[in-house]
Amino acid sequence: MTVAVFFGCTFIAFGPAVALFVFTIARDPLRVIFLIAGAFFWLVSLLLSSLVWFITVQISNKNSATQQTGLLIFGVVLSVLLQEAFRYGYYRLLKKANEGLLALSQEDTMPISIRQLAYVSGLGFGFMSGAFSVVNILSDSLGPGTVGIHGDPQHYFISSAFMTLAIILLHMFWGVVFFESCERQRWWALGAVVISHLVVSCVTFVNPHYQGSLIPTYIILSIMAAWAYLCAGGSLRNLKLCLTCKDKDFLLANHRPR
């Protein structure tokens, strides 16, 4: 507990995402706006799914624990499906806005490409999802207490932090793959994204057994990372050039006069 755990878990959960934000998004106001709009869309999807869950809970038997757990599982699945639906809705909105802008400007270039929008909106979804999952837990970790004193799992905080990290990055990769598959009309890819999201959420149902949930999640994370990298136009060759500092941008940057 206390400050060390708080800072540790915060940095684990949000470190990479905040780094991505600071280095790639913070400089461009348009991207920041689309990030916040993405967060807003995720929030609306959460609201709708909570509404449905709340209604089902009210009309159900509050005393039966199994029924409540069942309803919660239903809530999770519904929420995942709604999130993906809202991701699709955001995609349509962005396409319309871009088309409108393109028509107005009569230019070929848009100020922000659909791929950048995919990345930014995915990260927006991720930020909001991660924040809602973990911020209350983090604020509790600041205070006094002993984790697991009643026999609950002792690694609650750190496993939450790692899970949140995975979810945020996954949302970003899902965003990229989703938009790309919508652009190319590859509906199987869309289905794969939705199914992988469902798998990641359902795998958390085994949760105090963290090896059962964290490991598959991270495997899916690496697969999605590779897939998103390929969708964004990367390839092994690009990677090699980048890592050995031989890519075009780096070379151009080095020749720029001081």
Partner 1 sequence: MRLLQLWAFGFCHLLFMNTSDSEEDSYNERSALVQCESPTIPSYNQDHDMSLPQETDTKRRRPVSSGLDEPGPVERERASTPDGEEEELTLKYGAKHVIMLFIPVTLCMVVVVATIKSVSFYTEKTSQRLIYTPFEEDPNSVGQRLLNSLLNTMVMISVIVVMTIILVVLYKYRCYKFIHGWLILSSLMLLFWFSFMYLGEVFKTYNVAMDYPTLVMIIWNFGVVGMICIHWKGPLRLQQAYLIVISALMALIFIKYLPEWSAWVILGAISIYDLIAVLCPKGPLRMLVETAQERNEPIFPALIYSSAMVWMVGMADSSNPDSADERQRNEGGALAQEGVESEDDATQGGRRRYSAEEDLEEDRGVKLGLGDFIFYSVLVGKAATTGGDWNTTLACFVAILIGLCLTLLLLAIFKKALPALPISITFGLVFYFSTDNLVRPFMDSLAAHQYYI
Q: Which residues bind partner 1 (CB under 8 A)?
A: 29-30, 32-33, 36-37, 39-40, 43, 46-47, 49-51, 53-54, 57, 68-69, 72-73, 75-76, 79-80, 83, 101, 104-107, 109, 111, 128-129, 131-133, 135-137, 139-140, 156, 159-160, 163-164, 167, 200-201, 204-205, 207-208
Q: Give 105 or 113: the residue with its C-beta nearer to partner 1.
A: 105
Q: Give 86 or 231: the residue with its C-beta nearer to partner 1.
A: 86
The residue behind tokens 């519904």 is: 78
Closest by alpha carbon to 120, among 211, 231, 39?
A: 39
CB of 45 to partner 1, least distance (A): 10
CB of 249 to partner 1, least distance (A): 22
Sign of CA dihedral 171, 172, 174, 180: positive
CB 118 within 8 A of CB 34: no
CB of 68 to partner 1, least distance (A): 8
Within 13 A of 134's CA, how many CA atoms are on the CB side?
28
Q: Give 33 or 242: the residue with its C-beta nearer to partner 1.
A: 33
Closest by alpha carbon to 163, among 123, 208, 121?
A: 208
- Can you tell me the distance from the alpha carbon of 217 to that of 195, in angstroms, rounded to the nearest whole number? 13
